[in-house]
Amino acid sequence: MCSEFSVVTQSMKPFSGPGSSDAFRWIKDFERNCDSDDDAYKLKCVRRLMKPDSDADLFVHVDRSTNYAAFKENFLKTFGRSHFVVDVVNQLKSTKFEPSKMSVLGYILKMQEIAERAAIEEEQTVHMIIDGLCDKSADIGVLYSANTIEQLIKRSHRYTQLRMKRCAERSSSFAIKDSGRVRCYNCSGYGHFANACSEPKRAKGSCFRWGSTQHTIKECKMKTTIGGRSVAFASEHQPESGKGGLPELNMVRITFSTANSPHNSTFRTATKSGQELEIFVYAHLEKY
């Protein structure tokens, strides 16, 4: 009997009172772990699982129950909080699966724990769990034949595999699509980075577009186009005067203002040789 009690205590967390755990769920867990037919032994076990120096411990001192059934009734009257079915159903409907925070199995178990707070049909719980997965793909079909939590858990393993496969294929598709936007700063080609380029290494300081050492990117006569329209680069707008500043057309004024110290700063197109200036489109808008 002592060894059996040690097994129960290892499986159960002592009950301390309101806020520690749901009393209905705790007593149900206790009955699942302590399934003895010996009423006196069961009463002894449940009393010893009331946490010392807690509200539950005080309850044990004032409770006069002589059998387990009476103890359970008084225990639930004291610590149990009634859950209306409609409240539990609303909570189940509002609890959605979050792939970044939990697994499919974890979500099912969480929903099961919520459903056990009220008298809800198991099949109804299963349907709300499936709805909560928010999956409109064909993969969700493997769960439709489940009518019990046990069946749902069994089918969830296959569903998880299908879901992971679909996510992997989607990620691979995005990677292939995005690779076409990658541009090599060695050969100026698309679809790979400079460190993976098979072309001869471009000479330092040479033109990024042509690889020529006869001129730099700033001296390049080739213009880029945006939406079919030729757009000049900032380097082509040299100041007419010798004052050393860029004309207003090629300046972007950004204002940082706070309640204590308003401050204005003018930023010019600060790019290194060999880089494109496509991000400075707004610097070339005509003035009206």
Give Cα separations from 257 to 28, 82, 130, 245, 265 (angstroms). 61, 55, 51, 25, 10
Q: For residue 1, what pLDDT is reported?
A: 44
Q: What does the pLDDT read at residue 129? A: 97
Query: Could you state, in order of their start, the residue ranges of all structural domains in the chain?
Result: 2-79, 85-178, 223-284
Q: List, as own/partner pairs, every contact residues 59-63 make where C-beta atoms lie below 8 angstroms and the sequence separation is at least 24, other chains included.
A: 59/17
**Backbone dihedral angles phi then psi of residue 278, each to the nearest 5 degrees:** -65, -25
Contact 97, 104 (CB under 8 A): yes
pLDDT of res. 235: 43
Give the number of other Cβ atoms within 10 Å of residue 122's Cβ.
16
Sequence-distant (6+) residues with CB within 8 A of 147 are: 122, 123, 126
Residue 180: per-residue pLDDT: 54
pLDDT by residue for the chain (288 residues), tens only, comes to: 444 777 887 888 899 987 767 888 899 889 988 888 889 999 999 999 999 999 999 999 999 999 999 999 999 889 887 667 888 899 999 999 999 999 999 999 999 989 987 778 999 999 999 999 999 999 999 999 999 999 999 999 999 999 999 887 776 655 555 555 677 777 777 777 777 788 788 777 777 666 666 676 667 766 544 444 444 444 444 444 444 444 444 444 555 555 555 444 444 444 444 444 444 334 344 443
